[in-house]
Amino acid sequence: SPAWYDFWTGAAQKGSREIDADAPLNRIPLYVRAGSIIPFGPEIEYASEKPAGPIELRIYKGADGTFDLYQDAGDSYDYEQGQHSVIPIRWNESTGVLTIGGREGSFPGMVAKCSFRIVVVGRGHGVGGEVTKDADKEVSYEGAEIKIALHSQ
């Protein structure tokens, strides 16, 4: 069975078993399955704000993973007419390669260029709700597919 990562500490443990987890009042137990890809965006105050900061992608190794990053203008119903974009993101566990696929679709006001901060989660690294200070890789993305090798992480 795949591993599960403690969201708060990055510690991995085997699945398919019961555990006793600390549950203080200010922090619920939260576990993320190996193979998950979780994006963390820059904080925005309102829907039409164009965030300048990069998107952090947390990779939970141990299994292949996929995530489709959906984006739209956020301030209308134009997405119902197909005005949105999707960026497919794939993690290949055996090769250690993260593929950020070609962007599909577009919408008015779309930011064409962005950067991704790639973080391979481990004990004390890429944990909790705050942005990770030291990314493993940072890449610039302009809509075309890119592959990032993460063998050494």
> Band of the pLDDT at 44, cuts 50, 70, 90?
low
Residue keyed to tokens 């004990």 = 123
> Does residue 82 contact residue 70 with C-beta atoms inside 8 Å?
no
pLDDT at 97: 97
Rounded to an integer, the average pLDDT of 55-67 is: 95
pLDDT in tens, 86-137: 999 999 999 999 999 999 998 887 888 889 999 999 999 999 988 898 999 9
pLDDT at 13: 86
CA atoms of 129 and 37, how far apart (whole Å)? 15
